[in-house]
Amino acid sequence: MISSRETFKYKMKQLKIENTNKYLLVPKRCRKCNNIIPYEKRKNSFCSHSCAGTYNNLIRGYKKPLLDRFCKRCNKKIERKTHRDTSTLCKECRKGYFFNDDIPLKSIIYTKHHKSSAFALVRSRARTIAKDLNMTKCSLCGYNKHVEVCHKKAISSFSEDTLVSIINSPDNLIALCPNCHWEFDNH
């Protein structure tokens, strides 16, 4: 014999199925992306918090104001276009700080972490020089989808008194694809 509790559960389950089917005939859609909102969330106007935030911020025209930032060296106002621009130096100071290659190797060796990152700044500057020299394809095979800048003479083979400008001279740099770079380093 079926109890009244089981009968009630069965009727409620049937009613939910019936209401879900009715809802799916004419479902409610997200106001932002127009996706169908599931039956369980039918009271919502949006399918997610992301859609709600994007839609409401566009409607209100809300944009976070850009806060003024000042250079740590010269105290000039830093020109910013987006919130992602978090630089702490102005263009002039950054250029002098990052691209001064007339400094000895020992002054920029990075020793705080793993020894493989010791010459990271030298490599970074080499990539910038290669980009300026338009090294966009492999010097050996001509591949141009992805190239890596390689030092013909290894950075570690230079003495610590050698200037970075000498290590990263165009005569010591070569653009290679990953395969040719591996062969160059291992043969």
Q: Which two tokens stand for residue 79?
A: 């020109």
pLDDT score of 99 more than 70: no
Q: What is the pLDDT of residues 46-66, one digit of tens each?
A: 999 989 888 888 777 667 777
Write the CB contacts of 163 (distance below 8 Å, at least 6 apart in sequence).
101, 102, 103, 104, 105
pTM greater than 0.85 (yes/no): no
Closest listed residue to residue 163, CA positions, set 101, 111, 98, 108:
101
Closest listed residue to residue 125, CA positions, set 153, 166, 160, 74:
166
Quick check: 126 and 135 in contact, CB under 8 A?
A: no
Q: What is the pLDDT of residues 32-48, one digit of tens each?
A: 999 999 888 889 999 99
Mean pLDDT rounded to a whole number for the chain? 84
- What confidence score (pLDDT) does residue 182 get? 93
Closest listed residue to residue 135, CA positions, set 92, 95, 181:
181
